Amino acid sequence: MLVSSHKPTNSARTAKPPLPITKWQLLLKSLKRLGWTQTGIGLKCGVSQATISEIRLGNTREPKHELGERLLELSKNPKNKT
């Protein structure tokens, strides 16, 4: 009897499907269209640019409650960049 020692390559493995886009990613995308930078959003919301980047990339699916409230408030008044 012949036994195959063939192992699947990386390309033969099943890749995980991408996660759906979150409402937070869409919110950040809309702020970017209005001229906001990740740094500016972070400063306005009291967090780092890296925190905003993690949300935008989908690595953070749900921000902490306080940050979520600040992002929602910013999205209601996006022109106030002070």
Residue at 32 is within a domain: yes
Total of domains in the chain: 1
Whether 3 is covered by a domain: the verdict is no
Nearest to 36 by CA among 18, 19, 52, 51: 52
Show Cβ contacts of residue 34 under 8 Å, excluding neighbours closer than 6 positions: 78, 79
Residue 10 lies in a domain: no
- From the CB of residue 53, how many other CB atoms can be counted at a distance below 10 Å? 16
Does 26 fall in a domain? yes
pLDDT bucket at 15, cuts 50 / 70 / 90: confident
Query: What band does 73 get if pLDDT is binned at 50, 70 and 90?
Result: very high
The CA distance from 13 to 60, in Å, is 26
The CATH number of residue 37's host domain is 1.10.260.40
Count of residues in the chain: 82
18-66 per-position pLDDT tens digit: 788 899 999 999 999 999 999 999 999 999 999 999 999 999 999 999 9
Domain enclosing residue 33, as ranges? 19-76
